[in-house]
Amino acid sequence: MMHNPSKVRQKIMKKWIMGLRSCSSSHENLSLSERRWIIKLSADLALASVRNGSRRWSRAIIEEASRNPDNKGLIQRMLGSGCDYRSPCLIPREGRSDGNGAGHVTKSMWVATSSKKIVKRCRRARRSNGRAPRRNEAASIAKRLVKKRTQLLKDFVPGGQDMDDVSLIEETLDYIVWLRAQVDVMRALAHSLPATTSI
């Protein structure tokens, strides 16, 4: 899924350090929590920037960070003012297909319709003789669980609230791999620094 993981980690590390350095001149005495904020934000932005806006989650990270005016300076320094990471994909949620093709399944098609109609089907099946009601019930319970868990997943993937179920899982697959790279980079730095620092 990731062609060259070590190269990716290097890129993230470089971008991240660049972000950290860009803050050193403007803030002389940072509090611990301010430093922590900058460290985390620049790491997140480094990840998003290295992913280069080709994924919704990466654009969503930048979008969400941009909402806080305190972050504008760092975002500009790390990503450049010329970049516009906004995209038509980030239109407020409609849960609709954006015309990707006839087979494209949207949330409204899969989740809402099928769970409503499955419940109806179960009720009907209970009354009729031809079907096995227990199998239908198990299927409907399973589908409801999947729906519930899919909703939960949306909170964990940046920009997830605006995605249909299929895009969500595709984005999740990508996000996990790249997020792991970010964690590896941060861990590498934390482990390589001496326990006590001298200023």
**Residues at the interface with other proteins (CB under 8 A):** 10, 13-14, 17, 20-21, 23-24, 30, 32-33, 35-40, 43-44, 103, 105, 109-110, 113-114, 117, 138-139, 142-143, 145-146, 148-150, 152-153, 156-157, 165-166, 169-170, 172-173, 175-177, 179-180, 182-183, 186-190, 192-195, 197-199
Q: Which amino acid is at 64?
A: E
Least Cβ distance, residue 82 to other proteins (angstroms) = 24
Q: Between 84 and 185, name the residue whose CB sits nearer to other proteins.
A: 185
How many angstroms separate the Cα of 181 from the Cα of each of 46, 153, 171, 188, 190?
A: 11, 20, 16, 10, 14
* Shortest separation between residue 42's beta carbon and other proteins, angstroms: 9
Cα separation, 58 vs 69, in Å, equals 19
Between 96 and 180, whose beta carbon lies closer to other proteins? 180
- If 0-12 CB within 10 Å is exposed, 13-18 middle and 19+ buried, where does residue 39 land? middle
- First-last CA distance in the chain: 41
Q: Are 85 and 99 in contact (CB under 8 A)?
A: no
Q: How far is the CB of 81 from other proteins (least distance, A)?
A: 22
By C-beta, is 86 or 117 nearer to other proteins?
117
* Cβ at position 94, least distance to other proteins in Å: 18
**Tokens coding 161:** 């609230």
